[in-house]
Structure formats: structure tokens, C-alpha cells
Amino acid sequence: MSTSNTTRVQLVKVSEDHDGQRLDNFLSARLKGLPRSAIYRMIRTGQVRINGGRSKPSTRLDEGDEVRIPPARIRESGKAFISEQVCRQIHDAILFKNSGLLVINKPSGMAVHAGSGLPWGLIDVVRQNFPGEFCELAHRLDRETSGCLVLARSGKALKHLSGLFRDGQVRKFYLCLLDGDMKEPLIKVTAPLKKVQAGAERQIEVNVEGKTALTHFRKLQAYPGCTYAEAELLTGRTHQIRVHASHIGLPLAGESRYASKESVKKWKNMGLHRIFLHARSLSLTSVSGEELTFNAPLPEKLKAVLDRLEN
């Protein structure tokens, strides 16, 4: 039986291990059981303060900052159950591991965070696999997107990696299937993106008032009525590839939010029940200055779609 607990106001000093961490992730780790939507509301309404001032969810913390965490009513239903099968799945999906970082080939359908009705996310699985160890996400992937996901294993690594992603110093390449014929071998999309309210949910649209967003689409293989392509992500906006693909009239195969009903139906009939978007490779510089590149093979279910297009 679940119970609830009301926390008190906390004034927390940011330690070296959390230097550079996003405010929303910092709060989520301290208010376990509180939905992320509630955390965002706390921040938006000014209940959370950093050194006495208001902030945003994406604000990066500095060592020595004082964070005011307001009272919160947390529903406690015990630790979320994560099966041994899932733990093994993520353990087997590790592409690289050292003292500073962990790279995982994230499966499609698994969210990186708990929330929106999900009792756990990939970060919780990793923490269960490495109990007592520091582990934080350096960036994010959409729930339906598979492929290379980087996590930091120390506060120093988190600050370094967060800086690389924030400053566009990580090269990110995705494999995608575009619904339509890509006429040119390379399409460079420069279209600012903005979050908007669409009914009960928020989504992203191309908007001159939005944030700068750059995506390069390179044709890899033409198929009847669709194109297999590589997307290079030069900025890291939410749903960037999905919205940019739709913007140029070539929505991602399997897309449901930014594609027509006809497109959705077409790809379901083709046996595709997820977005065809896979984070294939990622290159970055480690804390020690080593140049690292990670690669995640295309999932078998996506290979099967390409095989069917060949026949």
C-alpha cells in the first residue's frame, strides 16, 4: 500500500560531484517519487531558488551554489520494480565503459527518465546495475529513439560532457528513413524550433522566435517512395530531426506526431511500429583529452524494414 510523505524546505549546497549538473536532474535525484512535471512546476513558479534567484530547469549548477528545495508531497509506493531481464538487457547493451563515462546502445521504447506514468527509466536501470556509484545522464534521447546514449560516472566527467554537448562539440550521426523522395544528396536544414502547446501536450514547431537548430540530411539509399538517410545533428533541440524532416516534406517513417495519418497507416502496414530513428555514432573528447568514437549497429527490426523495401 502506498503512502505519502511531505518533505521540509531544504537548503542544499552543491558538491563537486554535481558541479555542472542540470537543475531538473539535481532535484529529481533528491525528490524521488515526485513526477518531473511537478518538479518543472516548482521551478517555473519560483519555488526553487539558486543562491536566492529564480532559474530554469536547464540551469547548470556550480559547486558551492545553494539550492532552495521547497516542501513537496511525495507519494511513496516502494522502490520501482525493475526486472532482472531488463537489467541484463541494459548490461549487455553497454558499448563502452571507463571510470568517467558509460555509453549504452539504448533500446527503442525505453525512456531515459521515469515520469508521465512510467515508474522507472534507463537511468534507474543503470543505477540498479551499479549500486552506490555516481551515474547521471550527459544528454537525452527520445523514448522511441534507439542508439548511443552517454552517461557520466563522476561529477568531473558530468561537467566536462555537459559542456561538450552544450557547446556543440560532440559529433552526432543518426540513421533514419524518410517518407518521400529526397531529391538532393545533401539537404542542410536551418530552421529555428520552439515549444508550443498543442491541446493537452506540448510539441515542437518551426518558428522564427525559436532557438537555432541545424540538421544535415545525407542520402544513403533511395527506395520507391522513401529514402534511407543519415542525419547529422549540429544542435541538440528536442525532436529536432523529427521536426526538421517533416519541415522539408519528408517525415520520418513510423512518425506519429509530425506526420500525416496516411503516413502513419502506411508504415504500420509495412510492419514498422516505432520511429525509424537510430543514434548510430557519436564522437567526443574525454576528460583526459582522448578522442573517442562510439558506434551502435542498426537494430534488427529496422534492418528488416530495409530488407522488405529491397524486395
Identity of the amino acid at 183: K
Q: Residue 309 and residue 224: Cα distance in Å, rounded?
A: 8
The C-alpha cell 527490426 sits at: 301
Cα distances (angstroms) measured from residue 96 to each of 2, 19, 90, 172, 266 = 38, 24, 12, 16, 37
Concerning whether 142 is annotated as a catalytic residue, the answer is yes
Beta-bridged to residue 69, according to DSSP, are: 10
Longest dimension (CA), the chain: 63
Sort 294 into a burial class: Cβ within 10 Å, 0-12 / 13-18 / 19+. Answer: buried
Query: In sequence order, what DSSP letters do the residues of 178-226 get, joined into one string?
Result: ESS---SSEEEEE--EEEEEETTEEEEEE-TTSB--EEEEEEEEEETTE
Of 17, 24, 124, 142, which one is the catalytic site residue?
142
- Helix 122-129 to helix 84-92 angle (10° resolution) is 90
Asked whether the beta carbons of 80 and 120 are under 8 A apart, the reply is: yes
How many Å from the N-terminal Cα to the C-terminal Cα in the chain? 54
Cα distances (angstroms) measured from residue 252 to each of 23, 73, 174, 239, 277 = 32, 40, 12, 11, 8
- Spatial neighbors of 121 by CB under 8 A, at least 6 apart, are 110, 111, 112, 113, 114, 115
Which residue from 95, 69, 205 is spatially nearest to 61, judged by alpha carbons? Answer: 69
Identity of the amino acid at 67: V
- Tell me which residues are annotated as active site: 142
